[in-house]
Chains A and B, each alone.
Chain A
Amino acid sequence: MKIILEKELFDIKTYITNGGYNAIKKALTMTPQSVIDEVKKSNLRGRGGAGFPTGLKWSFIPKDKSQKYVVCNSDESEPGTFKDREIIHKNPHSIIEGMIIAGYAIGATKGYIYIRGEFVREARIIEKTIYEAKESGYLGKNILNSGFDFDITVVRGAGAYICGEETALLESIEGKQGKPRIKPPFPATKGLFSSPTVINNVETLAAVPYIMIMGGEKYSRIGKEKSSGTKLFSVSGPVNKPGVYEIELGLSFKDFLENYLMGMKDGVKLKAVIVGGSSVPVITADEAMKVNLDYESLSQAGTMLGSGGMIIIGDDQCMVEALYILARFYHHESCGQCTPCREGTGWIYKLLSEILSGKCKEKDIDLLYEIAENMMGRTICPLADALSMPVMSFVKKFRNEFDKHIEGSCEICQR
């Protein structure tokens, strides 16, 4: 079933015709606390990658009258992830309506949408969408005569994956380098400009209007118990039908591959799957065929749902080269603040380029694994872990390919 991407609702007219902005109307008749309760009931979890329960996050905001903010994280830079872009193209008003409802729920009168710098066209779409909403009275002062004000400002990023991390994003809006903050304090207490702030992913906010309309309880019954609702998966790799899919959580990967992605391309066999964006541990083809696409099943299989950015890897791709490409990415994107990540990403990247070119010994593969272990859990933000997990899983599960590179006998690379 599809919720957010059921129809293509490009502008406000089609959005309203299909029930758009009824959710905010309903929310405004409820108390802010009831709105939060509704979202809690839905069991909606953050769709950006961390999977934190959304209602719970909203409930952390203090109930005083201080200035508060809703921030939409549209930084989408996790390799393999391109689902938020789809929402912006096909249903942008759901994001805006979600933000307004969130603002009402936590008592915020201002919202920011932080959109990655490369999404120039998408930023224009968002600006147009905000304009439309404002013109129709859904943004601005005294929305629908409720006494509730809400306004949204768009802030563009400028090429930094790390700005997808909540507090780095706030730093960027505050006109600084995107370096994650030490937590505690958390954004709910001290966020944007030191005020209580809720930061949610595009997809999370887009789901909110639908939750309000159908009711949290009904939403919670879609999908699985601890993985409620639908999730957008963006799939790339040698499958017949890559693209963005909205599916009910709990669907088996096998079903997904065969009946949605229409199987692997001719002549390519499934070798590995990165299920939720490059930062999650890789799983082998065999493991993939046994999992369901939900938080629990994937967590039990030793990986994570993450962002839902699925990269399918076929047997025509060398795993060592794949890991090298990812290491190059994290090395490039590390903000450089803390020692293990700044130095560790560089070390791993350099070591991998040597393993790739066959200039290494057996013990260097063990060293690679150890460096990844030594980076984990010791940094301000999880970027170091985001490299450690692929490194450790690739080395553990595809050790033979690494060994081949030591010997200089990788058939895939020699082609």
Chain B
Amino acid sequence: MLGEKFKKNYKSIVEKFEKKESALISLLYEIQKENNYISDGDISELSSLIDMPYSRIKSVLTFYTMFNQKKTGKYHIQVCRNLSCSMSGARNIINFIKENLKINEHEVSDDGLFSYTTVECLGACGSSPVVMINDTYYENMDEKKLRELIDKLRKE
């Protein structure tokens, strides 16, 4: 279900663009910000709201990987698995997450706080390994830093 915040904001988002189609990605981000992920119901509602076919919205949603189609943890950890990060120890980071948070890719931890996926190149290879948690980049990561970070996030 589309949230109250979205219903208040969506018009101003659409107005920022010359053509309303260009607003689609931004609108989907906005729904995700409030709802954590984007459901079929959200798409149907959005379709009526902005008069755009369901099929169009769903095809965009499923094409782009930054849209969550199912629930993620409060902190969604994205670990780069591409070449430079792999060469500098991404595998250790992934193993650390699996063992300590006890989750596999796309799973949410029992306390609902964490989920993780591996992602492709984040464009910060010189400071690899790179991890993205929600909207923030964490560069030059290692297990120690990650442990500290996770502890910090847990306390928030």
Interface residues of A (CB under 8 A from B): 76-82, 84-85, 110, 116-121, 153, 155-161, 172-178, 193, 234-238, 242-244, 274, 278, 309, 311, 313-314, 317, 321-322, 325-326, 328-329, 332-333, 335
Contact = CB atoms under 8 A, between A and B. Distances in A.
Contacts of A119: 123
Given A120-B136, A158-B66, 9 more contacts: A81-B125, A173-B22, A174-B19, A174-B22, A177-B59, A243-B126, A311-B83, A317-B87, A333-B120
A92 B125 CA distance: 20
B22 A155 contact: yes
Contacts of B86: 321, 325
Given A79-B121, A175-B22, A329 B82 contact: yes
Nearest to A330: B120
Interface string B126-143: 111000100111000000
B22 A118 contact: no
B98 to A, nearest CB: 18
Interface string B86-128: 1100000000000000000000000000000001111111111
Interface in B12-38: 16-26, 28-29
A110 B18 CA distance: 10
12 contacts: A79-B84, A118-B137, A153-B22, A155-B17, A159-B65, A160-B64, A176-B59, A237-B84, A311-B83, A326-B83, A329-B83, A333-B120
A217 B120 CA distance: 40
B126 A172 contact: no
A84 to B, nearest CB: 8
Interface in B44-59: 52, 56, 59
B23 A79 contact: no
Chain B: number of interface residues, binned into ranges? 35 or more
A309 B64 CA distance: 24
A177 B60 contact: yes
B140 to A, nearest CB: 10
A325 B86 CA distance: 8
B54 to A, nearest CB: 14
Contact of A325 (B56, B82, B122): B82
Contacts, number: 143
A243 B22 CA distance: 34
Contacts of B127: 242
A234 B19 contact: no
A326 B85 CA distance: 12
A80 B60 CA distance: 27
A172 B119 CA distance: 20
Contact of B63 (A77, A160, A242): A160
Contacts of A335: 63
Contact of B125 (A110, A236, A328, A329): A236
Contacts of A243: 126
Contacts of A176: 21, 56, 59-60
Contacts of B84: 79-80, 236-237, 311
B76 interface: no
Contact of A77 (B18, B120, B126): B120
A79 B82 contact: yes
B67 interface: yes
A353 B146 CA distance: 29
A238 B120 contact: no
A161 B24 CA distance: 18
Contacts of A121: 135-137
Contact of B124 (A82, A160, A326): A82
B83 A79 contact: yes
Nearest to A81: B123
Nearest to A173: B22
Name the 7 nearest CB pairs between A and B, nearest first.
A175-B21, A158-B64, A159-B66, A159-B65, A236-B125, A236-B84, A175-B24
A303 to B, nearest CB: 16
A77 B64 contact: no
Contact of B83 (A76, A172, A173, A322): A322
B9 to A, nearest CB: 16
Given A173-B22, A317-B87, A178 B63 contact: yes
B83 A118 contact: no
**Most B Cβ at <10 Å: residue of A313, A321, A325:** A325
Contacts of A158: 25, 28-29, 64-67
A238 to B, nearest CB: 7
A238 B126 CA distance: 10
A77 B67 contact: no
